[in-house]
Amino acid sequence: MELVKIYNEMLEKTQKEYREKNPKTDSKYRASSSGMCARKIFFEAIEKAKATQPDAKSMRIMRLGQVVHKDIQDMLLKAIKED
């Protein structure tokens, strides 16, 4: 389906732009790694394993998580302002 292809391309472009604006530091540990798989943390910190590019389905799932995260964040900020 053409729509899926267009959406996947948009996700790849968005991810590339994000990585260019927010390059990873050389720090071995980051706060965003807390709660992640210990094996993943080990390979990122010790082994410096190169990450693989996620497939299109995984990109769509991660995008959904970003959208839900933003909605919850906006809702909480609004609730705080109303108090």
Give the residue extent of every domain in the chain: 2-82
**Which tens digit of pLDDT belongs to each residue from 43-57?**
777 766 666 788 999
**Which tens digit of pLDDT belongs to each residue from 2-46?**
888 888 898 889 888 888 887 765 556 666 677 788 887 777 777
Query: For residue 82, what are the CA distances in angstroms to 69, 74, 75, 77?
Result: 20, 12, 11, 9
pTM listed for this prediction: 0.55
CA distance 27 to 4: 36
CA distance 80 to 76: 6
